[in-house]
Amino acid sequence: MNAIRILVVSGLAVLAGCTSQPTVQTEPDPSTEKARTLSFAQAAKDREQFVVAEDKSMVLFFCEEPKVCRGPRDVQKYAGMKGYFKTDTPAKTTVSGFEFWPVALENGEEFYYFHMTKFGKYGAASSLIPLAEYKKVQSYQAEPLVPGSSITVNSVKMTYGMKSYSLSNGETIAGEQLKRLRGAYELSGKSDPAIAEKMLQFRYDYDEVEDRYFIKPTINIRNLDDEALFYIGINRTNVWLRMKIKYYGDDWLFVDSYKIAADSLRWQSPKLNFQRDHSGGNVWEWIDTAPTEEDIRNMEALSTAANPIIRFQGKQYYSDFKLSTKQQKDIRAVLALFRSLEQ
C-alpha cells in the first residue's frame, strides 16, 4: 500500500514539474548579431554594395543556383536589407541573355542575383538599389517644384531602377519626367511658377544632341489608335507648335488628304504627303507638321465640338475617326500652354 502511494505521489510530482516549467523562448544572441554585422561590414567594405528595394510589389531575382527561378516569396523579409556583390564579374552560366551575380546579404544568406543582360544590374526590372543612391533617397528633403511654386516635391521613392516623386498636390511624377519638366521650364526663360505647374499635365521627350525638349500629351491606350494632337518644341532660342494627325488600322488606306466635320464646320485639306509605317499586322499613316493659322482654328473647332470627326481619305477607301474627350482636352491644354510660353 505504501509502495503504491509513493509511486502515485512521485508520478504527480513529475507531472507537476512538467506542467509548471515555463516554455523557453529563444532570443537572438546579441553577441552573434553584432559579430555578423561586423563581419558583413568588413566583407562588404571594398565591394559594390546595394539595398533591396522597399516595395511590396517587387520581385526578388534571387536564386540558389546560377539559373532563372521564381526566387523568394517572402519579399518583405528582405525589403531594405543591405548586401554586396561578391565578385566583379558574373558567374558562368549556360543561360543566354542573363547574368548571374553571387551576392551576400547582411543576414548571412547568399544567393545568385540575376537580370537580363541588356538591362544591367540596376535596370528597369531590378529590385536592387545602389547603396549611394539609396542614401540620397533616404536623405531627400522637400523642395518646390520650381522656385516660387506653391507645389512642393515632398518625397522620392526608387523601385525597379527608377525614381518617382510625390507632390504636395497628391500627384506623382517619374524622376526623369521631373528633370525634363524643369529643364524645359528653364529653357523657356519664364519666371512664372504657374506655368511650370501647368506643365505637370504633360510628358517630355529630350533631344540631347540638339538640346531641345518636346512637350506632349500624356500617353493612354488610345495612342495605339487614330490621333489628332498638338505638341510643343522648345530650345534656348525658340518655342514652336507642331501638329500630328495619324490614321492607325490593320489595312492600308494610302491617305493623301483628310476632311474635318466639327458640328457645323466642314473643311477639306489639300493633298498631303502622309508618311507610312507598319508592324505586327498594323499600319499607320501620318503627317507631323507646323500648323498654319487655319490648322489651329480647325483643331480648336474639333476640340470643342460635340461631334468631332476626321475622315482619312485614301486612294479608294476612307476611315472616320471621332476624337475622344481626352484628345479634345489635350488639344486645348497644349495650345493654352504654347500661348503662355510664346508670350
Confirm whether 166 is domain-assigned: no
Render 274-340 in DSSP notation, one character per residue.
-EEEEETTEEEEEEEEPPPHHHHHHHHHHHH-SSEEEEEE-SS-EEEEEPPHHHHHHHHHHHHHHHH
- In this structure, the answer to whether residues 231 and 334 fall within a common structural domain is yes
Do 331 and 242 belong together in one domain? Answer: yes
Which residues face 318 on adjacent strands? 313
> Do residue 39 and residue 125 come from a single domain?
yes
330 and 212 in one domain? yes
Residue 67 has pLDDT above 50, yes or no: yes
Of 75, 107, 132, at which residue does a domain stop? 132
Angle, in degrees to the nearest 10, between helices 325-342 and 293-304: 140
C-alpha cell, 209 = 544632341
3-state secondary structure 149-175: CCCEEEEEEEECCEEEEEECCCCEEEH
Residue 220 maps to a domain: yes
Tell me how far apart the alpha carbons of residues 95 and 69 are, in angstroms, rounded to a whole number: 12
Number of domains the chain is built from? 2
What integer pLDDT is reported at residue 237 of this predicted model?
A: 94
Shared-domain flag, residues 214 and 126:
no
Query: Which of residues 23 and 291 earns the better pLDDT score?
Result: 291
Residue 76: the pLDDT is 86
Instruction: Please give the pLDDT value at position 6.
Output: 38
Cell of 95: 543561360
Residues 6+ apart with CB under 8 A from 33: none
Segment 17-57, tens digit of pLDDT: 444 444 455 555 656 777 777 889 999 999 999 999 887 77
Residue after which a domain boundary falls, among 92, 107, 132: 132
Place of cell 547603396: 131
Residue 268 CA to residue 259 CA, distance in Å, equals: 5
| Cell numbers given for 321 | 475617326
Give per-residue pLDDT as tens, 222-277.
Answer: 556 899 999 999 999 999 999 999 999 999 999 999 999 999 999 999 999 999 99
Which H/E stretch holds residue 265?
strand 265-268
Is 201 domain-assigned?
Answer: no
**Which run of H or E residues covers position 182?**
helix 175-188
pTM of the model: 0.79
Average pLDDT over residues 79-86: 95
Tens of pLDDT, residue by residue over 109-124, are: 999 999 999 989 998 7
Range of the domain at 87: 35-132
> What pLDDT is stored for residue 228 in this prediction?
96
Q: Would you call 224 exposed, middle or buried from its count of C-beta atoms within 10 A (0-12, 13-18, 19+)?
A: exposed
Neighbours of 168 (CB within 10 A): 14
pLDDT of residue 20: 42
pLDDT over 60 at 14, yes or no? no
- Whether 165 is covered by a domain: the verdict is no
Q: Which of 132, 165, 186 is the last residue of a domain?
A: 132
pLDDT of residue 258: 98
Q: Is 74 domain-assigned? A: yes
Could you read off the pLDDT of 187-234 as tens digits, one per residue? 999 999 999 999 999 999 999 999 999 999 998 655 568 999 999 999
Give the whole-angstrom CA distance, residue 48 versus residue 86.
8
Residues with Cβ within 8 Å of 93's Cβ and at least 6 positions away in sequence, in order, are 66, 67, 99, 100
Same domain, yes or no: 335 and 236: yes
Dihedral (CA of 248, 250, 253, 254) sign: positive
Give yes or no: residues 216 and 327 share one domain. yes
The two beta strands, 239-249 and 257-262, are unpaired
C-alpha cell at 102: 553571387
- As a 3-state breakdown, the chain gives helix, strand, coil percent values, each rounded to 5, of 30, 35, 35
Query: What is the structure's pLDDT at 73?
Result: 78
Identify the burial level of 260 via C-beta atoms within 10 angstroms of its C-beta, where 0-12 means exposed, 13-18 middle and 19 or more buried: buried
- Distance in angstroms (rounded) separating the CA atoms of residues 78 and 53: 8
Q: Any alpha helices (H) in 45-130, and if so which ranges?
A: 75-78
160 falls within a domain: no
87 domain-assigned: yes
C-alpha cell at 103: 551576392
Instruction: List pLDDT tens digits, range 129-171.
Output: 999 999 999 999 999 999 999 999 999 988 878 899 999 999 9
- The pLDDT assigned to 12 comes to 32
